[in-house]
Amino acid sequence: MSGREFFTARTVADALAGFRPGHRTAVADVTLADALHRVPATDITAPGPLPGFVKSTVDGYAVRAADTFGASDGLPSYLDLLGAVLMGAAPDVTVRPGGCVAMPTGGVLPDGADAVVMVEYTAETMPGTIEVTRPVAPGGGLVRADEDVAAGAPLVSGGRPLRAPDLGLLAAAGVTRVAVHARPRVAIISTGDEVVPPSTTTLSAGQVRDATASALAGLVTDAGGEPAVAGIVSDEPGALKTRLTEVLPDADLVVVSAGSSVGARDETAGAVAAVGDVWCHGLAIKPGKPTLLADCAGTPLIGLPGNPLSALVVFGQVGVPLLWRLAGCETPPPAPSTRARLSRDLPSAAGRLDVVQVRVRDGAAEPLFGPSALLSVLTRADGYLVVPEPSTGLDAGAEVEVILYR
């Protein structure tokens, strides 16, 4: 890779659809306490039906539905109270014609009953006699034994991150351990003679503290990965190739934050080409055109622009979906979003994806602009909007979708 020109830039859509290294993280057996947001390797099926018994969904009385037909305030039905069901215990009473049994929410339906009438539509007119003022249909006020999940049916699907309700459903089924993909290990390398550690107290002329690595580590963690900050590599020829050789064996994804100069970009491209196959060098995205994607014997590598804002935008658009794919999830969970009106005209160039930072106030999305070296543009933003490749811009007042930062 010689020159001072990019390859023909690929679209972001092309990158998401076409850049698919085969590597996936290993599968590990974890407890439910460690499973939140992890991706199951396969579907997990129910060992038995849930809830496993017919139960009441209301406080009231277990009845034969036919005994309540025609009941009303003016002409109630009167039923004999035969007993009560206790929570956590099997019923010791059977509902016979003209009788009823007191039921708590969640109680087991006694034999002979086929419905539960709500307590609000009943009254104990005299000891041992219940007045019913509303009819109930067969199955009313009940949950079937397999209404939540049938035996053998999927509890959770493989390839979808586990959410809190999923953990609850697994626990209800007695599944306490799940086989999930390991969290992807992401090696983050910063490059550039001008870049110094954040702990540097006094900067010399031209030096900048490494802000990108810390921010990238946060994005990796937020997407379920495990960041490993691999330090700063100088622009000396061969230095980056050596570091890549060191980190690749233990990484599921390598991210290189490259310098902004053409020479630095050339050094990164050359080093990457020496250890892997470059899939593209240049994305049709603003900010972030000088992005490199490569496959290093199955391990993906992303070469990001040196400017922090550009690097973080590109990683959010391309790196985060790739990170989820490595963890076994082909479709990343959607980010929160809101609809808003654009506060001003927003010009764009057809043929590239524009990612614009915005602040949302009172239903209006205000674009925030600034050089791609300024992280404060991101810290002031509530989220971003995307101007798609075919568009030449958006008009003031247009309704837009704003992807919100968590």
Average pLDDT over the chain reads 94
User: What local confidence, expressed as pLDDT, does residue 259 receive?
Assistant: 60
Structure token digits, residue 118: 């709500």
Could you tell me where the beta strands, DSSP code E, fall in 85-191?
Answer: 99-103, 115-118, 122-126, 129-132, 142-143, 154-156, 177-181, 185-191
Q: Give the integer Cα–Cα distance in Å for 303 and 299.
A: 13
Q: How far is CA 402 from the centre of its chain?
A: 17
Q: Is residue 220 pLDDT above 60, yes or no? A: yes
User: What local confidence, expressed as pLDDT, does residue 6 receive?
Assistant: 44
Grade residue 2 by pLDDT with cuts at 50, 70 and 90. Answer: very low
Residues 6+ apart with CB under 8 A from 234: 191, 192, 193
pLDDT in tens, 382-406: 999 999 999 999 999 999 999 999 8
For domain 55-143, the CATH class is mainly beta
User: What local confidence, expressed as pLDDT, does residue 267 receive?
Assistant: 81
Q: Is residue 343 pLDDT above 80, yes or no? A: yes
pLDDT in tens, 57-80: 999 999 999 999 999 999 999 999
Q: Give the integer Cα–Cα distance in Å for 156 and 328.
A: 14
Looking at domain 337-404, what is its CATH homologous superfamily? MoeA, C-terminal, domain IV (2.40.340.10)
User: What local confidence, expressed as pLDDT, does residue 67 receive?
Assistant: 98
Q: Give the integer Cα–Cα distance in Å for 343 and 340.
A: 9
Q: Give the integer Cα–Cα distance in Å for 325 and 25.
A: 9
pLDDT in tens, 267-277: 888 999 999 99
| For the chain, domain boundaries | 12-26+183-326, 28-47+150-181, 55-143, 337-404
Handedness of CA 66, 72, 78, 80 (dihedral sign): positive
Please tell me whether residue 181 adopts helix, strand or coil conformation. Answer: strand
Q: Give the integer Cα–Cα distance in Å for 249 and 28.
A: 19
Strand partners, 50: 149
CATH number at 28-47+150-181: 3.90.105.10
Structure token digits, residue 357: 């930072």
Q: What is the mean pLDDT of residues 310-334?
A: 95
User: What local confidence, expressed as pLDDT, does residue 263 receive?
Assistant: 57
Q: Measure Cα distances from 343 to 125, 287, 368 in Å.
A: 66, 21, 11
Closest CA to 287 of 163, 176, 370, 361: 370
Q: What is the mean pLDDT of residues 261-266?
A: 58
Q: Which CATH architecture has domain 12-26+183-326?
A: 3-Layer(aba) Sandwich (3.40)
Grade residue 4 by pLDDT with cuts at 50, 70 and 90. Answer: very low
pLDDT in tens, 143-174: 999 999 999 999 999 999 999 999 999 999 99
Specify whether the CB–CB gap between 225 and 186 falls below 8 A.
yes
Can the peptide bond before residue 51 be classed as cis, meaning omega within 30 degrees of 0?
Answer: yes
Please tell me whether residue 264 adopts helix, strand or coil conformation. Answer: helix
Please tell me whether residue 263 adopts helix, strand or coil conformation. Answer: helix
pLDDT in tens, 80-107: 999 999 999 999 999 999 999 999 999 9
Q: Is residue 135 pLDDT above 70, yes or no? A: yes
As a whole number of angstroms, the longest Cα–Cα distance in the chain is 96
Grade residue 199 by pLDDT with cuts at 50, 70 and 90. Answer: very high
Q: Is residue 362 pLDDT above 60, yes or no? A: yes
| pTM (predicted TM-score) | 0.86
- The Cβ of residue 142 has, within 10 Å, a number of other Cβ atoms equal to 21
Q: Give the integer Cα–Cα distance in Å for 337 and 367.
A: 16
Q: Give the integer Cα–Cα distance in Å for 293 and 235.
A: 20
Q: Give the integer Cα–Cα distance in Å for 156 and 159.
A: 9
If you search the block for the tokens 């020829």, which residue do you land on? 237
Q: Give the integer Cα–Cα distance in Å for 157 and 16.
A: 23
Q: Is residue 20 pLDDT above 60, yes or no? A: yes
Instruction: Choose between 106 and 235: higher pLDDT.
Output: 106
